[in-house]
């Protein structure tokens, strides 16, 4: 069975990932990662996360995948030694200079090659293995046929990892300069502003202010915005192609995203959910239209995607604890007394409850839970760490 690998942007997401069945999680530390600072764990949190994973028989990987500039090199060695001492299971690296320094500074630290290294052939896999990498996260441009060929032409001890779900970058292996050009924030140093999701119009140089629509929309077009990746329909084909680790994208996402996506793929891999129900779960989260990425053909871009997000549900809250017939909920989205909420938990199919009683933090009866982050109590028994959501789109 392939490893199911979840993202985690903070400790809440890490705990959620393991609770819902991830075999491993990948995080960013305080430096050299390709996400905003808020998705980076502090040094103490990295140590805590590694211990939390190992206590549950799971693994923790840390992204060190920024492309280093000359002034960065002097910090890599000490950082690698810290990660090794903290007990992380592997680091994810894209820069060959960073790889070399880590090998010298922390020789016992396992190295995974990031998708941003755009490894798309068996010879590159063998070369990177010779440099000390134990796992290659293939470039997203690989098709299923490419993966089969790479697996057949590389030693089995070299592990292959591929993305199965989440946002796709419009640039080759995510190496994009749009953000640097338009917003002076480098995607390759962790500061991407996602300009490929912005709306654009076509303007003829000698006719300023005269906008020529690229598609039928007064808002312009998100022609650079790719659809999101979703591989729920062909997990068996990925396994048969020789993929060792199935990776979910989304270190900037909420616990709800982590719970729903990990839960759907975990149960589908284990045979505990129908394909229809798995698709329903993945439609419940906020996403752009889904596609199969490059696995069968060229990546589909946004001609029928205005850069907008769609979802069938609102994330209502997380169950903290229960006592008797009451459950304390950390609120995330507005819901009211009398609403029917769906409950997502790893131990049983999704089920529904009706909020018959609702109390605020002072114990006063209220009609609605409308203060994000506050704790409310409902008159229902729900398992701790369960996700509650409000369905906003009728089924059928």
Per domain, the residue ranges of the chain are 3-170+230-272, 313-391
Cα 130 to its chain centre, rounded Å, is 29
CB 161 within 8 A of CB 244: yes
CATH H superfamily, domain 3-170+230-272? Aldolase class I (3.20.20.70)
Do 3-170+230-272 and 313-391 show the same overall fold?
Answer: no
CB 325 within 8 A of CB 355: no
Beta-bridged to residue 129, according to DSSP, are none
d(CA 265, CA 295): 18
Q: Which CATH topology does 313-391 take?
A: Elongation Factor Tu (Ef-tu); domain 3 (2.40.30)
- pLDDT at position 297 is 80
DSSP 336: E
- pLDDT at position 269 is 98
- pLDDT at position 299 is 65
Span 248-258, pLDDT tens digits: 999 989 999 99
* Contacts of 33 by beta carbon, 8 Å cutoff, 6+ apart: 39, 40, 62, 63, 64, 65, 66, 190
Q: The tokens of 313 are what?
A: 């549900």
d(CA 140, CA 127): 19
- pLDDT at position 30 is 92
- pLDDT at position 207 is 74
Quick count: other Cβ atoms within 10 Å of Cβ 123? 11
- pLDDT at position 306 is 56
Q: The tokens of 348 are what?
A: 């049983």
Span 177-197, pLDDT tens digits: 676 656 777 666 666 777 776
Write the burial class of residue 220 (CB in 10 Å: 0-12 exposed, 13-18 middle, 19+ buried): middle
The dihedral of CA 292, 296, 301, 304: what is its sign?
Answer: negative
Given a cut of 70, the residues of the chain with pLDDT beneath it are 34-38, 170-177, 179-182, 186-191, 197, 201-202, 211-225, 299-308, 394-396
């Amino acid at each position: 069975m392939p490893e199911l690998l979840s993202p985690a942007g903070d400790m809440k997401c890490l705990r959620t990932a393991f609770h819902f069945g991830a075999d491993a999680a990948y995080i960013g530390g305080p430096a050299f990662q390709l996400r905003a600072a808020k998705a980076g764990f502090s040094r103490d949190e990295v140590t805590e996360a590694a211990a939390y994973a190992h206590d549950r028989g799971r693994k923790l990987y840390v992204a060190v995948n920024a492309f280093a500039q000359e002034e960065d090199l002097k910090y890599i060695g000490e950082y690698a030694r810290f990660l090794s001492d903290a007990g992380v299971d592997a680091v994810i690296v894209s820069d060959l200079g960073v790889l070399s320094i880590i090998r010298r500074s922390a020789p016992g630290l396992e190295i995974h090659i990031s998708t941003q290294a755009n490894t798309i052939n068996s010879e590159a896999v063998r070369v990177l293995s010779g440099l000390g990498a134990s796992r290659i996260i293939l470039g997203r441009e690989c098709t299923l046929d490419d993966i089969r060929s790479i697996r057949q032409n590389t030693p089995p001890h070299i592990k292959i990892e591929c993305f199965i779900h989440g946002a796709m970058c419009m640039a080759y292996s995510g190496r994009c300069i749009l953000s640097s050009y338009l917003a002076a924030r480098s995607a390759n140093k962790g500061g991407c502003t996602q300009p490929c999701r912005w709306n654009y119009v076509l303007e003829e140089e000698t006719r300023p202010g005269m906008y020529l629509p690229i598609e039928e929309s007064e808002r312009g077009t998100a022609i650079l915005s790719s659809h999101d990746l979703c591989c729920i329909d062909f997990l068996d084909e990925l396994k048969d192609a020789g993929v060792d680790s199935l990776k979910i994208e989304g270190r900037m996402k909420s616990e709800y995203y982590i719970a729903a996506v990990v839960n759907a793929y975990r149960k589908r891999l284990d045979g505990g959910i129908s394909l229809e129900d798995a698709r329903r779960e993945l439609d419940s989260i906020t996403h752009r239209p889904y596609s199969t990425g490059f696995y069968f053909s060229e990546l589909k871009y946004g001609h029928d995607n205005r850069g907008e997000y769609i979802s069938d549900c609102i994330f209502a809250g997380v169950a903290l604890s229960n006592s008797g017939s009451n459950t304390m909920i950390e609120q995330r989205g507005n819901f009211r007394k009398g609403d029917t909420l769906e409950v997502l938990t790893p131990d049983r199919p999704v089920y529904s409850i009706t909020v018959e009683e609702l109390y605020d933090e002072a114990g006063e009866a209220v009609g609605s839970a409308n203060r994000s982050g506050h704790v409310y109590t409902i008159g229902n028994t729900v398992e701790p760490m369960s996700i509650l959501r409000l369905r906003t789109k009728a089924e059928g």
